[in-house]
Amino acid sequence: MIKNVVLGAVALGSVVGGGIAVDTVTAPEASAACYGSVTLMKGKNNSCGNGARHWNAIRNAPSKYGDWVGKGRVSAQKLCWANVVSYGMTAR
């Protein structure tokens, strides 16, 4: 079972017709996280025995995922994505 946790939510605003539009996304809660040091581009698997990977939720597009990594390794995005509305780590 895959558990998702939003460790950092990003609210990105864009100017639309003279006003500000803000999008936010949250993922389901999970039990105690075994990862940390999550940023927009990467996250470290501190102790997830079955692996963990970084993800970015993209507005109006499929989410983007880093590679599954073992304990002590870093999962990173291959590119800097536009329109990221949230990011975090997923443990298996």
Per residue in 7-65, pLDDT (tens digit) is 333 333 333 333 333 344 444 334 468 988 899 999 999 999 999 999 999 999 999 99
Q: Which amino acid is at 84?
A: V
Average pLDDT, the chain: 75
Q: What pLDDT, on the 0 to 100 scale, is given for residue 32?
A: 61
User: Is residue 45 within 8 Å of 83, Cβ to Cβ?
Assistant: no
pLDDT in tens, 1-18: 344 444 333 333 333 333
Beta strands of the chain (E only): which ranges?
3-9, 12-16, 19-23, 35-36, 42-45, 52-58, 64-65, 74-76, 84-91
User: Is residue 74 within 8 Å of 92, Cβ to Cβ?
Assistant: no
The overall pTM is greater than 0.85: no
CA proximity to 34, closest of 42, 22, 23, 46: 46
